Structure 1
Amino acid sequence: MVNSSLKMRIISELESLITQSCPNQKIQKKQKDLHVALLKRYYNAYDVSIDYFRRRITLNIVIDDTAYNPNIVNTYLPTFRADIHFISLKYFLKKCLEQDVRSLAFYASLLRMFSKEERKLLVV
């Protein structure tokens, strides 16, 4: 029961962070970094570009993970380029949230990172 409540708390905190990071005004760098990190995680992409004005996301998605080795420089990595159009970035990002253990650990680290940045800003 504690595990499921922790999962739900992580997801709800991340959803509220997504809601706060998707205003209609100009997007700040840390908000854009959050959006890119979520999209990279969900789509297994190595390059993500978000055009907020045109409501378009361009991704280079890794097709085969077996060719990837972080210890060597990969000159060839099988990828697929995708252009995705979204109507509402907030709802699009919320649909990208997964509830498996590895994703929840990643989301918890994102929450720690962004809450740490906010605390630093409040102290100054």
Structure 2
Amino acid sequence: MEKSKVREKVLMELENLIALSCKDPKGYKKFNRLHVALLKKHYNAADVTIDYHRNRVQMDIILDDDIFQAEKVNVNIPTLYTNLLFLNLRKFLKSCIDKDQKSIGFYAQILSSFHRKENQFTLA
């Protein structure tokens, strides 16, 4: 029961942060790392670039995780180049939220990191 409440709270806070990040196009630069992290997680992408003006996301999606080795330089990993068009950034990012347990932990780390950085700016 308690895990369910924490899970729902993390998802709700993440959706609120996404909504906040998409309100002002001038603030996209501040939230770019959040947007890229969400897309990398959802699509299993190695490289993500967001063109906010043209509403496009370019990324290299990793096709085979078994070949990837974190301790080595990975030069010959099979990837698929993708160029996606989105109409509404907020809806697009919200559609990338995965609800499995591993993803919830990842989102909790993002929220924790973001709130720490936010508090550092307010204390300075």
- What band does the TM-score fall into relative to the shorter chain? over 0.9
Aligned pairs, number: 124
Partner of 1:41: 41
Could you say what secondary structure the match of 1:65 adopts? coil
Q: CA deviation at 1:28?
A: 4.4
Q: Identify unmatched segments of 5+ residues in structure 1.
A: none
Partner of 1:58: 58
How far, CA to CA, are the matches of 1:41 and 1:22 in structure 2? 19
Q: CA deviation at 1:123?
A: 0.4
Partner of 1:32: 32
What's the TM-score once normalised by structure 2's chain length? 0.96
CA RMSD, 1 decimal: 1.0
State whether residues 22 and 28 of structure 2, in contact with CA within 8 Å, keep that contact through their aligned partners in structure 1: no
Partner of 2:79: 79
Partner of 1:2: 2
Partner of 2:99: 99
Post-superposition CA distance 1:63-96 (Å, at most 9, x none): 0001101111122000000111001110110011
What's the TM-score once normalised by structure 1's chain length? 0.96
Q: Identify unmatched segments of 5+ residues in structure 2.
A: none
Post-superposition CA distance 1:28-65 (Å, at most 9, x none): 43300000000000000010000000000001000000
Flag as ranges the 4+ runs of structure 1 deviating above 6 A.
none
